[in-house]
């Protein structure tokens, strides 16, 4: 229980009530985890009210607040059995911002405050790893320099020492990285509060109608290390497989890994099965924590954790990123397990994800015994076949005649964009998955393989090729593809069934009397010139049914709802589920907007 007397600092020990408005998002998350009985590293927060006081005092941390922070720190030292700056049992802390609504422009995170030359030595002894101790120190100097002092310094190279980083920071910013742990802490807190009024944060708040009167909290949390002592390590745990959506725990385990402040490549990554073999109790506790957090948050969780001397600490949990097919499967599984309702499940899957799952794929075995023309890096997934064309103007002309073309270029420049739009897929000789070509094709959703090698595409012009951009392979000739049918996939067919029940607009096969065909009317065919929504509403008013490519856009689906059209018919290439999701999402958007207007 808290023993602090001042309300200027809040210990996050589960005795306090959650509340984003006062504690900020990060501290609120910690409190919620503590109240679920989960172990997170000890922390206290300086609430949002102190940010207001800071700015009311002209950008100065109030002395009484600082005294409260020192009380909070003593509480943290008692909780952890360590002390800031004490080489015999050193405590290191992180400092983070935490506004009720997170926003760009806020100072984000500084890790490892409290490190000094003496603490570095102590860490070297405790971990048996002097390189780790030195890296921790140099990375602290670089991060403090960048984040708090605004220095433009590169990430330290392995082997650099802290003094050289301090000198670099001082030269660039004219300010010193403090050597005293308490000075480090005080400056970092000041920097978080000051960032509330950064230019970017002010602009963002103006755009989003967020009051400048609010403020951010500051959370100070003990660092835990997965490389101090036996039975330690760090990892990440997905409560379901993020690629397939199967209800199998999935993750990585790095025995002896440091935790939050990981340097890559120093430890061999193992699986959660290895963790189960090495530390069965920790593994069981982790899985149980995953079940608790899934129930609490109603979604697949991605959990960062560290084990320090056999004790599991959860560092962070959030909704897991997942592949399109995992998104479909987990949404259905969560609704069937009554962890969310069907409306939520339908909102959780985007029309683009369904379209991606339904994309044709190479027929099984089709690629065997086929000549591989090139291997490259996949930049945007998908499968496509067509005639290879070496320049963008020709690609545009051929596509204009209705031919399927694959644009093949050494590299792409802005003048290739119209050719990339016209092509079914794109191949480049140079560049990696972060080239301009990769960025453009992902924006367009065109399958793309990059970096097949200089000169490799010579002589391709005019040949028919098949691109498997999911694997990064170019095949000679046209390989058979097969369509994915929603009926063959249990999760897709459930989702389709629920979407039909939930949608106020029916998707029909045939256009009845009184239908409006927006394609025939030439509306919305050019995606670069979207039609005025009110114009579309006008065309659709009174219609018994609507059809058109534009309906599979947020604006088009919104117009169907606004005009009160009872049914839509699928245009060629439009799947009923994709249309239904567009309509359902547009419906919830309209409800959110009207609720916002009413408030």
Is residue 392 at the binding interface for other proteins, with CB under 8 A as the rule? yes
Q: State the nearest-atom distance from the C-beta of 50 to other proteins, in Å.
A: 23
Question: For residues 191 and 194, what is the distance between their CA atoms, to the nearest angstrom?
Answer: 5
Name the DSSP class of 176. Answer: P
Q: Which two tokens stand for residue 343?
A: 């409306």
Is residue 413 at the binding interface for other proteins, with CB under 8 A as the rule? yes
Is residue 361 at the binding interface for other proteins, with CB under 8 A as the rule? no
Q: State the nearest-atom distance from the C-beta of 331 to other proteins, in Å.
A: 12
Please list, residue by residue across 356-390, b when 16 or more beta carbons sit within 10 angstroms of its beta carbon and e when fewer do.
bbbbeebeeebbeeeeebbebbbbbbbbbbbbbbb
Question: For residues 200 and 106, what is the distance between their CA atoms, to the nearest angstrom?
Answer: 8
Binding characters for other proteins, 150-189, by CB under 8 A (x = yes): --x-------------------------------------
Is residue 301 at the binding interface for other proteins, with CB under 8 A as the rule? no
Q: Which of 150, 164, 81, 71 minimizes the C-alpha distance to 110? A: 150
Is residue 527 at the binding interface for other proteins, with CB under 8 A as the rule? yes
Instruction: Report the site for other proteins in 247-286 (rule: CB under 8 A).
Output: 250
Q: For other proteins, give the closer residue by CB, 403 or 442.
A: 442
* CB distance 451 to 436 below 8 Å: no
* Helix boundaries (H) for 312-450: 324-336, 342-348, 351-357, 392-400, 417-422, 436-444
Q: Which of 415, 416, 419 minimizes the C-alpha distance to 405? A: 419
Residue from 430, 484, 555, 571 touching other proteins (CB under 8 A): that is 430
Q: Which two tokens stand for residue 302?
A: 């991605």
Q: State the nearest-atom distance from the C-beta of 449 to other proteins, in Å.
A: 14
Residue from 440, 486, 505, 550 touching other proteins (CB under 8 A): that is 440
Is residue 353 at the binding interface for other proteins, with CB under 8 A as the rule? yes
Task: Tally the residues of the chain.
Answer: 599
Q: State the nearest-atom distance from the C-beta of 480 to other proteins, in Å.
A: 25
Q: Which of 298, 324, 319 minimizes the C-alpha distance to 578? A: 324
Is residue 242 at the binding interface for other proteins, with CB under 8 A as the rule? yes
Q: For other proteins, give the closer residue by CB, 243 or 363.
A: 243
Binding characters for other proteins, 188-207, by CB under 8 A (x = yes): ------------x--xx--x
Is residue 454 at the binding interface for other proteins, with CB under 8 A as the rule? no
Q: For other proteins, give the closer residue by CB, 395 or 543.
A: 395
Q: What is the DSSP string of 106-158?
A: S--EEEEET--HHHHHHHHHHHT-HHHHHHHHHHHHHHIIIIIT----PPPPT
Is residue 61 at the binding interface for other proteins, with CB under 8 A as the rule? no
Q: For other proteins, give the closer residue by CB, 436 or 478.
A: 436
Is residue 212 at the binding interface for other proteins, with CB under 8 A as the rule? no
Residue from 121, 173, 350, 544 touching other proteins (CB under 8 A): that is 350
Q: State the nearest-atom distance from the C-beta of 538 to other proteins, in Å.
A: 24
Name the DSSP class of 510. Answer: S
Q: State the nearest-atom distance from the C-beta of 299 to other proteins, in Å.
A: 11
Report the helix count and the strand count for the chain, using DSSP H and E: 20, 25
* Helix boundaries (H) for 128-271: 130-143, 162-173, 181-195, 199-208
What's the longest Cα–Cα distance across the chain?
A: 85
Residue from 11, 324, 386, 556 touching other proteins (CB under 8 A): that is 324
Q: How many CB atoms lie within 10 A of CB 57?
A: 12
Instruction: Report the site for other proteins in 76-105 (rule: CB under 8 A).
Output: 102-105
Q: State the nearest-atom distance from the C-beta of 123 to other proteins, in Å.
A: 29
Residue from 287, 444, 511, 549 touching other proteins (CB under 8 A): that is 444
| Strand pairing category for 301-308 and 233-238 | antiparallel
Which residues make up the interface to other proteins (CB under 8 A)? 102-106, 108, 152, 200, 203-204, 207-208, 238, 241-243, 250, 318-324, 326-327, 348, 350, 352-353, 356, 392-393, 411, 413-418, 421, 430-440, 442-444, 527-528
């Amino acid at each position: 229980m808290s023993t602090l007397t001042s309300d200027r600092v809040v210990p996050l020990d589960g005795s306090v009530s959650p509340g984003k408005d006062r504690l900020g998002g990060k501290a609120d998350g910690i409190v919620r985890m503590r109240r679920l009985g989960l172990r997170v590293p000890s922390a206290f927060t300086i609430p949002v009210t102190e940010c207001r006081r800071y700015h009311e005092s002209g950008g100065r941390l109030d002395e009484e607040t600082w005294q409260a922070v020192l009380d909070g720190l003593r509480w943290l030292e008692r909780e952890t059995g360590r002390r800031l700056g004490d080489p015999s049992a050193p405590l290191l802390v992180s400092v983070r911002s935490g506004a009720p609504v997170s926003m760009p422009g806020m100072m984000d995170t500084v890790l490892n405050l409290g490190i000094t030359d003496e603490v570095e030595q102590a860490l070297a002894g405790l971990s048996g790893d002097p390189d780790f101790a030195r890296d921790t120190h140099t990375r602290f100097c670089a991060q403090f320099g960048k984040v708090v002092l605004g220095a433009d310094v590169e990430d330290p190279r392995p082997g650099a020492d802290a003094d050289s980083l301090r000198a670099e920071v001082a030269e660039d910013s004219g300010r010193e990285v403090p050597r005293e742990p308490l000075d480090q802490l005080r400056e970092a807190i000041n920097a978080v509060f000051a960032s509330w009024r950064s230019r970017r944060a002010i602009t963002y708040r103006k755009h989003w109608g967020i009051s400048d009167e609010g403020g951010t909290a500051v959370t100070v949390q003990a660092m835990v290390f997965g490389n101090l002592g036996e039975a330690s390590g760090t990892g990440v745990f997905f409560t379901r497989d993020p690629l397939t959506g199967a209800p199998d725990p999935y993750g990585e385990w790095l025995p002896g890994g440091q935790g939050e402040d990981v340097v890559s490549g120093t430890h061999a990554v193992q699986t959660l099965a290895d963790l189960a073999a090495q530390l069965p109790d920790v593994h069981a506790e982790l899985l149980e924590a995953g079940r608790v957090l899934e129930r609490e948050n109603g979604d697949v969780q991605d959990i960062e954790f560290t084990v320090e001397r056999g004790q599991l600490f959860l560092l962070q949990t959030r909704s897991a990123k997942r592949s399109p097919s995992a998104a479909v499967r987990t949404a259905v599984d969560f609704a069937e397990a009554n962890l969310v309702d069907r409306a939520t499940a339908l909102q959780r899957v985007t029309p683009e994800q369904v379209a991606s799952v339904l994309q044709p794929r190479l027929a099984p075995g089709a690629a065997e015994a086929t000549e591989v023309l090139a291997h490259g890096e996949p930049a945007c997934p998908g499968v496509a076949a067509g005639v290879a064309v070496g320049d963008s103007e020709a690609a545009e002309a051929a596509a204009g005649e209705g031919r399927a073309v694959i644009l093949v270029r050494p590299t792409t420049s802005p003048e290739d964009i119209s050719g990339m739009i016209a092509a079914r897929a794109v191949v480049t000789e140079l560049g990696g998955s972060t080239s301009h070509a990769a960025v453009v094709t992902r924006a367009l959703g065109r399958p793309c393989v990059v970096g097949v090698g200089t000169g490799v595409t010579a002589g391709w012009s005019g040949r028919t090729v098949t691109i498997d951009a999911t694997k990064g392979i170019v095949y000679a000739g046209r390989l058979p593809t097969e369509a994915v049918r929603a009926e063959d996939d249990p999760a897709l067919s459930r989702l389709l069934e629920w979407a039909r029940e939930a949608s106020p607009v029916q998707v029909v096969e045939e256009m009845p009397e009184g239908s409006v065909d927006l394609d025939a009317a030439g509306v919305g065919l050019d995606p670069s010139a979207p039609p005025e929504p009110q114009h579309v509403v006008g065309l659709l008013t009174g219609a018994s049914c609507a059809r058109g490519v534009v309906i599979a856009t947020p604006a088009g689906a919104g117009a169907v709802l606004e005009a009160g059209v009872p049914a839509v018919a699928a245009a060629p290439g439009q799947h009923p589920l994709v249309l239904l999701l567009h309509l359902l999402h547009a419906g919830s958007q309209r409800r959110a907007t009207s609720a916002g207007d009413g408030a």
